[in-house]
Amino acid sequence: MPPSGVCAIKKTIAIIGSGPAGLRAAETLSSLEYEVTVYDRKPSVGRKFLLAGRGGLNLTHSEGITSFIERYAERAEILGPIIKAFPPESLQAWCEGLGEKTFIGTSGRVFPESFKASPLLRAWLRRLEMQGVRFKLNHEWRGWEDEALLFATPEGAVRITADATLLALGGASWPRLGSDGSWVDILQKEGVAIAPLQPANCGFFISWSDIFTQKFAGQPLKTITASFQEHKVQGEIMITAKGIEGGAVYALSALLREEISQNGAALLSLDLKPDLSLEALSERLKKPRAGKSLSNYLKATVNLSDVAVGLLMERPDRKALGDYPPQKLATLIKDYTLNLTAPFPMDRAISTAGGVKFECLDQNLMLRDKPGVFVAGEMLDWEAPTGGYLLQACMATGEWAAQGINDWLTRKR
Q: Is pLDDT above 60 for 1?
A: no
Q: For residue 9, what pLDDT band results from cuts at 50, 70 and 90?
A: low
Q: For residue 378, what pLDDT band results from cuts at 50, 70 and 90?
A: very high
Q: For residue 206, what pLDDT band results from cuts at 50, 70 and 90?
A: very high
In the 3-class helix/strand/coil scheme, how is the chain assigned residue by residue? CCCCCCCCCCCEEEEECCCHHHHHHHHHHHHCCCEEEEECCCCCCCHHHHHHCCCCCCCEECCCHHHHHHCCHHHHHHHHHHHHHCCHHHHHHHHHHCCCCEEECCCCEEEECCCCCHHHHHHHHHHHHHCCCEEECCCEEEEEECCEEEEEECCEEEEECCCEEEECCCCCCEHHHCECCCHHHHHHHCCCCEEEEEEECCCEECCCCHHHHHHHCCCEEEEEEEEECCEEEEEEEEECCCEEECHHHHCCHHHHHHHHHHHCCEEEEEECCCCCCHHHHHHHCCCCCCCCCHHHHHHHHHCCCHHHHHHHHCCCCHHHHHHCCHHHHHHHHHCEEEEECEECCHHHCCEEEEEECHHHECCCCEECCCCCEEECHHHECCCCCCCCHHHHHHHHHHHHHHHHHHHHHHHHC
CA distance 39 to 141: 8
CA distance 366 to 400: 10
Could you read off the pLDDT of 390-410 as tens digits, one per residue?
999 999 999 999 999 999 999
Q: Is 57 exposed, middle or buried (0-12, 13-18, 19+ CB in 10 A)?
A: buried
Q: For residue 55, what pLDDT band results from cuts at 50, 70 and 90?
A: confident
Could you read off the pLDDT of 208-242 as tens digits, one per residue?
999 999 999 999 999 999 999 999 999 999 999 99
The pLDDT value recorded for residue 105 is 94
The pLDDT value recorded for residue 39 is 98
- Please indicate whether residue 38 or residue 177 has the higher confidence score (pLDDT): 38
Q: How far is CA 298 from each of CA 217, 269, 292, rounded to the nearest angstrom?
A: 21, 20, 9
- The CATH number corresponding to 12-199+353-412 among 3.30.70.20, 3.50.50.60, 1.20.1260.10, 3.40.50.970 equals 3.50.50.60
Mean pLDDT of the chain: 95
In this prediction, residues 257-277 reach a mean pLDDT of: 97
Distance of CA 350 to the CA centre of its chain: 5
CA distance 258 to 18: 31
Q: Is pLDDT above 80 for 164?
A: yes
Q: For residue 7, what pLDDT band results from cuts at 50, 70 and 90?
A: very low
Q: Is pLDDT above 50 for 2?
A: no
Picking from 326, 403, 332, the residue whose alpha carbon sits closest to that of residue 365 is: 403
Determine the angle formed by the axes of helices 88-97 and 389-412, rounding to 10 degrees. Answer: 90
Q: Is pLDDT above 50 for 175?
A: yes
The pLDDT value recorded for residue 53 is 73
Q: Is pLDDT above 80 for 8?
A: no
Question: Where are the domains positioned within the chain?
Answer: 12-199+353-412, 204-343
HSE at residue 92, side-chain half, CA atoms within 13 A, is: 15
Could you read off the pLDDT of 58-114 as tens digits, one per residue?
999 999 999 999 999 999 999 999 999 999 999 999 999 999 999 999 999 999 999
